[in-house]
Amino acid sequence: MQELHNKIKSMLEGNSVALFIAYQKNSDGKITPTFITKPEQIKKAYYGDDCRQNLAVYVHKHEVKHFGKVGILANIYTLKALLQIYAENQFKDDYLKIVTVNPKGAVVEFANFQEVENYISENKPAPNPEYVAQVEKLSNLGREERWNYWLNELSTCIKCYACRAACPMCYCTKCTVESNQPQWISAPSHSLGNIEWHVMRAMHLAGRCIECNECARVCPMDIPLNLLTVKINEAIDTEFGQEAGTKGKLDFALSTFKVDDKENFIR
């Protein structure tokens, strides 16, 4: 941890950041985010394979932006999220300083998002075997069976929106579900309202979801929400060659229109 602490110290003291977002490990082993603004807080900073929360959610937060210059300790999924958010033009140039700890344990500070992009292409996360097995099992179900599986799972949703809050790609200041003219998505957590919400969110994440699995981790009802975007992401990769969180410059397939697009509805 010493190298990490030294890096944070030099960033705070050199005024390149006013706030550094990292992880801390508590006495009971729980990992939580920590917000370092003073040198005496640096010793709490921790990094390990057990650091799962995607800290990229904090970069959208009003109180965090208020600090002006912010540093963030990123695991591979946080890096993918930040790169995707950058590709979606959500960052002012000098807002973020990104630091990671590479597989060899060395602390790396990225000078720019191109370096983040290069790092990601060289350090693709290995697929989680449990996750792969779940996807395979679902894929092998018939259409009717798969629909019933989701009807059943989603009926338990309590509409707490932890999935939305924990997702770094859900940063709309007014979520579709908060609109009531018209009420696109029913607010109450009856079965229909739940399906509307999750299907809508999956569609809004199509090709943008970086598959960090936070949504499933945070769900109080243990619904495997991370499985909802897998096939859509695969489809976008197959059809358009785009994978979320890999490029800093993006003509996003679902929001870019070219004259030679095969659909003629806009001609």
Among residues 5, 7, 80, 164, the one that binds another protein under rule CB under 8 A: 164
35 binds another protein, rule: CB under 8 A: yes
Strand ranges for 102-234 from DSSP E:
107-109
Which C-beta is closer to another protein: that of 141 or that of 165? 165
Size of the site for another protein (CB under 8 A): 40
Which C-beta is closer to another protein: that of 229 or that of 242? 229
Sketch the per residue contact string, 58 through 97, with another protein: x for CB under 8 A, - otherwise. x--xxxx---------------------------------
Segment contacting another protein by CB under 8 A, of 138-146, 181-189, 196-204, 249-257: 181-189
Contact 131, 168 (CB under 8 A): no
Nearest partner of 12 among 92, 57, 71, judged by Cα: 71
DSSP per-residue letters across 199-223: HHHHHHTTTT-----HHHHH-TT--
166 binds another protein, rule: CB under 8 A: yes
- β-strand pairing of 31-36 with 19-25: antiparallel
138 binds another protein, rule: CB under 8 A: no
**Cβ-count burial of 120 within 10 angstroms (0-12 exposed, 13-18 middle, 19+ buried)?**
buried
Distance CA 116, CA 98 (A): 8
Among residues 176, 189, 204, 232, the one that binds another protein under rule CB under 8 A: 189
Contact 24, 31 (CB under 8 A): yes
Binding site for another protein (CB under 8 A): 26, 28, 30-33, 35, 53, 57-58, 61-64, 156, 158-162, 164-166, 178, 180-183, 186-190, 193, 214, 217-218, 220-222
